[in-house]
Structure formats: structure tokens, C-alpha cells
Amino acid sequence: MDEQKYNLEESLAELDQLFYLSAKETDKTACEALAEKARIIYEQYPESEEIALRYAITLLISSNKQTELKEIEATAEKLEKLQQKFLESHDIALQYAVISVNLSIKQTGLEERMATAEKLEKLQQKFQESHDIALEYARILAILSTKQTGLKERMATAEKLEKLQQKFQESHDIAEAFAAT
């Protein structure tokens, strides 16, 4: 048992180092290699939320270096699977929320963006008290509204943003997203 705990602590330390390196890394290929190393460690301890969170953060950092839609979609899918495995983890959910916004920026079709926004809406409903997740949801709604052409669609999006703004009245960022629609 002590050896298992020691190995877990060693893996956490290694993941912390990978996280630090990936945050400093500017090369996409190097970031993806670091994310792959993080995945290998995660697969050794698939029930550890701490390890899953570090893997999720490494994936998010890696996605920030990706430029192609397909790459970001694949990384977002990995993060979505982590979020679904650790349903109660706010921190993993937040990583997924952030990558969802990044993904929606790259998406060109309205239907794609709507599907991404719907996933984030469900996540926000699960973590209703989380300002951070609400902010990411507000951002995705603001992005979505720029592509909506129908008045009913835009009004529905504006109403969702208004509800968020009313719930988080102190948030200037959510108010800004609401004002942009």
C-alpha cells in the first residue's frame, strides 16, 4: 500500500513537471508530446481525480497551440471524456468549458457552434453556482450570437445571457458578453 501511494505521489510530481513544461512550451509538437506523456501517466491511475485534472490542464494547454479544427476537436473530445468520468469535478469541468469556447471560435458552422453551446449549457446547469463555468458559457453564447441570423435565435441567446447576468450580477465579464449580443 505504501509503495502504491509513493508511486502515485511520484506520478503527481511528474505530471506537475509536465504541466510546468507545457505551460512554458511554444512548440505545438512538444506540447502534444507532453500531453501524450500525461495521458500515459493518467492511464496508470485512471481513478485518480488529481492525476486526471493535471492531464486535463495539459490537454488544454496543448489545445492552445493547435491551429486546425480537427486537432482541437480531438483534444476537446478527450477532455469531454475526462469530464464525463469525473462528473463532480468542478476543476475538470472548467478545463472542458474553456476548451469548448476555444473550439467554438474555430468552428465555422452555426450548427456546430450550437451543439457546442448546448453541451456547455448542460455543464453550466450542473455547476450552477460556478462563476467560472458561467463565464465560459456566456462567452460561447456571445460567439454563437455573432453567427445567428434569425431574430428568434438571437433573442433566445440574449435571454440566456440575461439570465446568467442576473444570477452573477457582480460579473463585469458576463455583463459584457450580454451587452455584446
What is the tens place of the pLDDT at every residue in 135-146?
999 999 999 999
Nine cell digits for residue 89: 469535478
- Decide: 106 and 72 in contact? Cβ < 8 Å: yes
Q: What pLDDT sits at residue 178?
A: 84
CA atoms within 13 A on the CB side of 102: 26
Q: What pLDDT sits at residue 37?
A: 87
SS3 of 155, please? helix
- pTM summary value: 0.88
SS3 of 169, please? coil
Cβ within 8 Å of residue 149, ≥6 positions away: none
